[in-house]
Amino acid sequence: MKTFLFSIIITMATCETYAQNYQISFAGTGASTIIDSVKAENLSQCTSLTLAGTDILNLNGTAGINESHKNETGVSIYPNPSPGYCSIKFKATSATRLSIGLYSIDGKEVVKRAEFIQHGKHLFQLCDIPGGLYILKIESNKSLYSAKLISTGAKTERPHIKYNELTGDIIEGPQLSGSMELKGPGSVKSIVYMQFNAGDTLKLTGKSGIYRTVNMFFPVQSQTVTFNFVYCSDADGNHYAVVHIGSQLWMQENLKTTKYRDGSEIPNVPDSAAWGSLSTGAWCDYHNLPAEGEYYGHLYNFFAVADSRNMCPTGWHVPSHSEWNIMEKFLDNTVNTTALGGSGNIIGRILKEGCNTRWEYMDSTYGLNSAGFTALCSNYRNATGAWSLAPGNNHDDSFWTATSYNTTAAWYRSLRWCYSDVYSLFPMKNAGQSVRCMKDQ
């Protein structure tokens, strides 16, 4: 039994991890050059985090793990197994930023510390480690070393990491989730780590005051991502995120104004019978639930869309049938822009949001959101005033275009939970649909 246990400890004691890490910084242009924050969403893994605009996003992707008893990275960890404390020696061949992080076996951060170190040998001490199995990760600009660490300590307080150089401060306890401070010459920055695998799709939303811009990102190297900030605020003071799709700039959220651009009211009509008899502009929330309107946007009849007072933010308009065609063809060349009904092999998946929505997923129809359009399953209201389904049920969403078909009907687009296409037809004008606006060109 002792021989068996010893062999497990030796096997777990050291492993060297080789990874491709991309470091992403951020810049702003257009209406603002200052970035307050960035929301990073890995759409392939349905994970997200928010970081300051001055931070660096470190996309941490592991290519593989080589287990070895021979340490060729200049790292020395002893004792391991640990009685609740251990020393970590690191030999730097040049000045570098070094981070040391301790993680539980399920990947949760326990404590992390970072230093800018010079050429030479450096000593860190990891103290007050509760009993258990951990992953110790040591990363510099050029290498990433990972080791299994076993502690038999009886401590219950939070661990901390000491740096035995005069330039090092003691940082106790876990830092903000996924982040660490980098102490280098002249400035203090933060690196925020995010798990990333080759081929993952990232959605980055940069915020600057009232402005928000979405950039879709498919990382292949370290680089700077620039957000082009554009004014998009309605008469109610709602501020919308925007996203570039080809040559067009779209609102990335559904409209939820209750006023036309001149400040005059768009009537709210909750009653089904009254809604079905309308011939003037109106809005409602799905099932008359304010929470629906706040998250999914309001539903409008076409009379509100066609009103000359304009419901979109200044400089924006409801896109026409042909402007929708341009976007659809850009994203999926299998779309037949003259077809009635469903068309396109994958356009529906490109437009639909894929994480944390009430779309009913099917393997072949769930959302990819690879263009950043982020279509939510908002449902709709029929021309009779009836609701499409009960709240929370999975179904479809639909968007008005600005183009009439005849005196009683107008073109719209629909995304359906059970199809990967886009549905193009002309419902009655007193139906209640969502609205997206597009920037004037």
Domains defined along the chain, listed by start: 2-23+62-191 (2.60.40.3080), 230-439 (no CATH)
Banded pLDDT at 221 (limits 50, 70, 90): confident
pLDDT at 178: 37
Tell me, yes or no, if the pTM score tops 0.75: no
3-state helix, strand, coil in the chain (%, to 5): 10, 45, 45
pLDDT at 95: 81
Banded pLDDT at 132 (limits 50, 70, 90): confident
pLDDT at 250: 98
161, with CB counted inside 10 A (0-12, 13-18, 19+), is: buried
* CB of 113 closer than 8 Å to CB of 161: yes
* CB of 79 closer than 8 Å to CB of 141: no
Tokens of 222: 């370290």
| Spatial separation of the C-alpha atoms in residues 188 and 1, rounded to whole Å | 50
Determine the distance from the C-alpha atom of residue 13 to the mean position of all C-alpha atoms in its chain, rounded to a whole number: 36
pLDDT at 65: 30
pLDDT at 3: 35
Residue whose entry in the numeric block shows the structure tokens 């890995």: 42
Q: Tell me the range of 90-94, 113-117, 284-288 where mean pLDDT is highest.
A: 284-288
| Spatial separation of the C-alpha atoms in residues 336 and 342, rounded to whole Å | 9
User: DSSP labels for 396-409?
Assistant: EEEEEEEEESSSSB
Tokens of 151: 């502690």
Residue whose entry in the numeric block shows the structure tokens 């307080």: 157
- 10 or 369: whose pLDDT is higher? 369
Q: For residue 264, count other CB atoms closer than 10 A to its CB.
A: 11
- 140 or 9: whose pLDDT is higher? 140
Q: Which residues contact 235 (CB under 8 A, 6 or more apart)?
A: 257, 259, 260, 261, 262, 263, 313
pLDDT at 394: 58
What SS3 state is found at 422?
strand
pLDDT at 18: 40
Beta bridge partners of 138: 100, 145
Residue 129's nearest CA partner among 182, 161, 85 is 85
pLDDT at 251: 98
* CB of 376 closer than 8 Å to CB of 395: no
DSSP class of residue 219?
-
DSSP class of residue 9?
H
Residue 43's nearest CA partner among 353, 437, 299 is 353
**Average pLDDT value over all residues in the chain:** 83
CA atoms within 13 A on the CB side of 262: 5
CA angle 368, 255, 211 (to 5 degrees): 80
Banded pLDDT at 106 (limits 50, 70, 90): low
User: DSSP labels for 354-373?
Assistant: -SSS-----TTTS---TTS-
Determine the distance from the C-alpha atom of residue 181 to the mean position of all C-alpha atoms in its chain, rounded to a whole number: 23
CA angle 124, 130, 132 (to 5 degrees): 105
Query: What are the tens digits of pLDDT across the range 329-368?
Result: 999 999 999 999 999 999 999 999 988 778 876 778 889 9
CA angle 431, 435, 436 (to 5 degrees): 160
pLDDT > 90 in the chain, percent: 54
Query: What are the tens digits of pLDDT across the range 157-214?
Result: 788 888 865 333 333 333 333 343 434 433 445 778 888 888 889 999 999 999 999 9
pLDDT at 435: 98
| Spatial separation of the C-alpha atoms in residues 154 and 408, rounded to whole Å | 76
Beta bridge partners of 15: 67, 146
CA angle 183, 188, 191 (to 5 degrees): 80
pLDDT at 5: 31
Length of the chain equals 441
Q: Rg for the chain (alpha carbons), in Å?
A: 27
Beta bridge partners of 171: 161
Which H or E run contains 328?
Answer: helix 321-331
pLDDT at 414: 96
